[in-house]
């Protein structure tokens, strides 16, 4: 079984450090407001890095991400379906 995805608290590799730097730039922008939420993702073709900001938990961030992905699919004439698998 794979290890569950969770917030680490601190960047732990090159890609997550780059994501954190981009998040810092976003938060320093004069148009940034408290309450704004962001997901920044980088991929180098080998692995990926992700930083979340403004979310109370990882699950809510992933729900928002899937909603955005669904909209992108629909604009391109496709349908994204998510079928939960697992316990319960």
Q: Taking the CA atoms of 29, 31, 36 and 39 in sequence, report the sign of the dihedral they define.
A: negative
Would you say 39 and 6 are in contact if contact means Cβ atoms under 8 Å apart? Answer: no
Domain boundaries, the chain: 14-75
* Cβ burial 65-74 (10 Å sphere, 16+ → b, else e): eeeeeeeeee
Query: pLDDT tier at 88 (50, 70, 90 boundaries)?
Result: low
pTM score: 0.74
Kindly report, residue by residue over 5-60, the tens digit of the pLDDT: 556 677 888 999 999 999 999 999 999 999 999 999 999 999 999 899 999 988 89
Q: Please say if the pLDDT value at position 2 is more than 60.
A: no
As a whole number of angstroms, the distance between CA 23 and CA 51 comes to 8
As a whole number of angstroms, the distance between CA 30 and CA 24 comes to 12
């Amino acid at each position: 079984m794979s290890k569950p995805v969770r917030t680490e608290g601190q960047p732990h590799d090159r890609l997550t450090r780059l994501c954190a730097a981009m998040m810092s730039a976003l938060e320093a922008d004069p148009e940034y407001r408290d309450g704004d939420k962001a997901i920044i993702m980088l991929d180098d073709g080998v692995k990926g890095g992700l930083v979340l900001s403004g979310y109370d938990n990882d699950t809510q961030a992933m729900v928002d991400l899937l909603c955005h992905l669904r909209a992108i699919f629909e604009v391109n004439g496709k349908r994204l379906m998510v079928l939960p698998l697992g316990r319960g």
